[in-house]
Amino acid sequence: MISKVFRRSNGTIGVKSIAGVVKAHFNVVINHKRMARLMGELNLQSKIRKKRSNNLLAEYTVDTVVPNLLQRDFDALLPNMKWVADLTEFNYFNTKFYGCAILDLFDRQVVGFGLSLNPDAYLVTDTLQAAVRSRDVDTLEGLVIHTDQGSVFRSREFRRHSQELKFTQSMSRKANCWDNPVIESFFSHLKTEFPFHSSMDGLDQIEKDLHKYIAYYNNVRGQKRLQYLSPNMY
């Protein structure tokens, strides 16, 4: 029964979700601690990264807040001058997971996109590495990456990447969404349009379709600011 539920999700759901499905579909109540033990005995482990404790996150957080270098200037003359980044939460099939997106302000292209069960610094740095690969560059010297003041962007891990890749950090003022509206607008469009681009047939399919939507956004979807061209056509 447990193995069946796990295989049906393609290994993407964890202990609490499996316990919930078993209760709903088989009318069998198993608390999450016992479920964790049973899954261990069956050698079943979610493919998606385990959650990290807040204490561990705090250990890797730097208190320093950097200045807002963009000052609400969301235009860029060339690619790789100004990027903006943020996280968002998804909730499908009673499962919360998180997305990280990085956009280039030159053409609003999504240069990096990642998903995880955890809104942590590792999701952000994995997405950053994807952006570096998509741009086929070895360094981000001369680039400004603008974010909010979230702990993931103040983490030692993200700070280390800024030093290694040589980009400059910029941060919005606290609790001020107008300092980073481009990424907020992107997430708004994504969440409004995505259900029409997915069969919504399980979490594994949703993950695949989210990445397909990013490809559609970059290659097909026209934007008024770009004279209704897509970012890759601009």
Reference 158, options 173, 88, 108, 168; nearest CA is 168
* All domains in the chain, ordered by first residue: 2-41 (no CATH), 55-233 (3.30.420.10)
Q: How far apart are CA 93 and CA 125, in angstroms?
A: 27
Q: What is the dihedral of CA 113, 116, 121, 127, to 10 degrees?
A: -20
Residue matched to tokens 């099939």: 93
pLDDT tens readout for residues 76-102: 999 999 999 999 999 999 999 999 999
Q: List per-residue pLDDT tens for the chain, 234 residues long.
A: 777 766 665 666 677 777 777 676 677 788 877 778 777 777 777 655 555 444 444 445 566 789 999 999 999 999 999 999 999 999 999 999 999 999 999 999 999 999 999 999 999 999 999 999 999 999 999 999 999 999 999 999 999 999 999 999 999 988 777 889 999 999 999 999 999 999 999 999 999 999 999 999 999 999 888 988 999 998
Strand order in the sheet with 82-92: 109-116, 95-104, 82-92, 144-147, 168-171
Would you state the pLDDT for residue 9? Answer: 59
